[in-house]
Amino acid sequence: MEHLINERVKSIQISGIRTFFNMVSRYEDVISLTIGQPDFPTPSHVKDAGKQAIDQNLTSYTHNAGLLELREASARFVNEQYGLSYAPESEVIVTTGASEAIDVTFRTILSEGCEVILPGPVYPGYEPIIRLCGAKPVHADTTKSGFRLTADLIKRHLTEHTRCIVLPYPSNPTGVTLLKDELNDIAALLEKRDIFILSDEIYSELVFNGKHESIATIPSMRDKTIVINGLSKSHSMTGWRIGFIFAPENISRHILKVHQYNVTCASSVSQTAAISALTIGRQDPVKMKGEYEKRMNYVYERLVHMGFEAEKPNGAFYIFPSISPFHQSSFEFALELVEKAGVALVPGSAFSSLGEGYVRLSYAYSMDLLSEALDRMENYLSNR
Whether residue 121 is preceded by a cis peptide bond, meaning omega within 30 degrees of 0, is yes
Q: pTM for the whole thing?
A: 0.96
Report the interhelical angle of 268-279 vs 44-55 (nearest 10°). 140
Mean pLDDT per 10-residue interval, the chain, length 384 residues: 91 81 83 94 98 98 98 98 98 98 98 98 97 98 98 98 98 98 98 98 98 97 98 98 98 98 98 98 96 98 96 98 95 94 96 97 98 98 89
- What is the per-residue pLDDT for 20? 80
* 97 φψ region: left (φ > 0), alpha (ψ -120 to 50), beta (else): left
Q: Is CATH 3.80.30.20 the classification given to domain 2-42+284-382?
A: no
Question: Residue 238 carries which DSSP code?
Answer: G
Find how far residue 47's CA is from the centre of its chain.
Answer: 24
Measured between alpha carbons, how far is 188 from 172 in angstroms, rounded to an integer?
25
- 3-class secondary structure per residue, 308-368: CECCCCCECCEECCECHHHCCCHHHHHHHHHHHHCEECEEHHHHCHHHCCEEEEECCCCHH
Contact residues for 281 (Cβ-Cβ < 8 A; gap 6+): 43, 45, 46, 235
Please give the torsion angle defined by the CA atoms of residues 258, 243, 201 and 233, in that order, rounded to the nearest 10 degrees. -150
Q: Which CATH class is domain 44-279?
A: alpha beta
Show me where the domains of the chain are located.
2-42+284-382, 44-279
**Which residue type is seen at 26?**
R
Q: Please check whether the two domains, 2-42+284-382 and 44-279, share a CATH topology.
A: no
* 110 φψ region: left (φ > 0), alpha (ψ -120 to 50), beta (else): beta
- Residue 116, strand partner residues: 137, 164
Q: Please say whether the dihedral angle defined by the alpha carbons of residues 23, 28, 30 and 36, taken in this order, is positive or negative.
A: positive
On the CB side of 24, CA atoms within 13 Å amount to 28
